[in-house]
Amino acid sequence: MTNLRWTTAGESHGAALIGVLEGVPAGLEIDLGRIDAELARRQGGYGRGGRMKIEADRVRVLSGVRAGRTLGSPIALELENKDSTIERLPVPTSARPGHADLAGCQKLGARDPRAVLERASARETAMRTALGALARLVLERLGIEIFAHVVELGGGHVRAQAFELAGGERAKLRESSAFFALDAQVEADWIARVDAAKAAGDTLGGVFELRVLGLPPGLGSYHSGAERLTARLGAALFSIPAIKGVEFGLGFESARRTGSQVHDEIVSRAGTFGRFGRATNRAGGLEGGMTTGEELVVRVAMKPISTLRRGLATVDFESGESVLSTWQRSDVTSVPAASVVGEALVALELCRAFLERFGGDSLEQVEQAYRDQVERLRGI
């Protein structure tokens, strides 16, 4: 069994972000252009703030790769921060509502929000996006596609069923959208919502949907709560700043229906993963903490960005007087960017689950173990 592990280091305005990914098999061809493309996607979307104009993220490989292929040793990546001003920035004199500022200061026993916000910042997700791009390269070798798109922004919903298009068409439609959505009819409405919020000094949240195609049944485990893939994916997505809700398949709607309207009946169906399948996919591709072989469907709710241009009421640390929270720069909305980070976190968690089951020292060994399992499933 291979244990995929990752960690990041670095502050929002520090010198750089560092990431280490351990457990990637040897022999994977690394396309730095693909990683940089994911980083560029994370910086995109209508309603982003000034930081995106400063940073031009390009990944630098520090270890674990030789001649463009992984060695099987830990992979270390670096993202330089152009806005490396941590030693010059002032210490805020109050905490911002909705941020980690106040709870973090109370945790540290210090009146220094800068010591908290530099690490709590969503800037750290740039490195997780880069690490997720590496995991995605592994999954793509195994025929697995991960695709996220925005379905709600500031209360405006997508109603089109464009996801049913072929993969290439879906991707082109999403990339042509200012919000990474698949319904061109919402563009004008959403742009107007963002512009109105910006003019009011306010921010907007939304919902993105994430789907994964090509997953075999049995990833994850029913052995313990911590091993259930539902819990692992939920924890990964909740680790993204500002995420307030995650649902699989019908999600909360399943609580409003009867069992006969919720559970997916099993049918005979010849396919890649054996002789059985589900007549529907209300569970969203997960049962008992494991993948079912059906499409994984996850929806993720993001709250509005906490830093508002117009400010929110807070209290000055020294005087105890009511003041407005400080504002330097922020996004009006970053739901499209969060969908890219969501893809990365799901890629990391699915790659970890995949390597737990089909792990090997080289990518060739992993691919062979997977092919053997698919062949065995045809007889079940």
Q: Whole-angstrom Cα distance, residue 6 to residue 347?
A: 12
CB-based contacts of 99, cutoff 8 Å, min separation 6: 113, 117, 120, 306, 307
Q: How far apart are CA 30 and CA 195, in angstroms?
A: 39
Q: What is the pTM of this model?
A: 0.95
| Domain that residue 105 falls in | 5-377
- The confidence score (pLDDT) of residue 162 equals 66
CATH number of the domain to which 342 belongs: 3.60.150.10
Question: Quick one: three-class SS letters along 198-223?
Answer: HHCCCCCCEEEEEEEECCCCCCECCC
What pLDDT is recorded for position 166?
Answer: 73
Residue 109, token pair as written in the block: 């026993």
For residue 341, the SS3 value is helix
In a 3-state reduction of DSSP, which class is residue 138?
A: helix
Distance between CA atoms of 116 and 109, rounded to whole angstroms?
11
Task: Give the per-residue pLDDT at 202.
Answer: 95
Residue spans of alpha helices (H) in the chain: 32-42, 51-54, 101-108, 113-120, 125-141, 167-175, 187-199, 229-238, 335-358, 363-377
Mean pLDDT by 10 residues, the chain (380 residues): 89 96 98 96 87 77 98 97 90 94 96 94 96 98 96 81 77 94 91 95 95 96 96 98 97 97 94 91 97 97 94 94 87 96 98 95 96 88
Q: Name the phi and psi angles at 87, rounded to 5.
A: -80, -15
- What H or E segment, with its residue span, contains residue 324? strand 322-324
Contact at 8 Å (CB) between 68 and 14?
Answer: no
- Per-residue model confidence (pLDDT) at position 54: 67
**What per-residue confidence (pLDDT) applies to 49?**
73
CA 359 to CA 92: how far, in whole Å?
48
| Domains: count for the chain | 1
What is the pLDDT at residue 328? 76
Question: In angstroms, rounded to a whole number, what is the distance separating the alpha carbons of residues 359 and 372?
Answer: 13
CB 139 within 8 A of CB 344: no
Per-residue confidence (pLDDT) for residue 288, from 0 to 100: 97
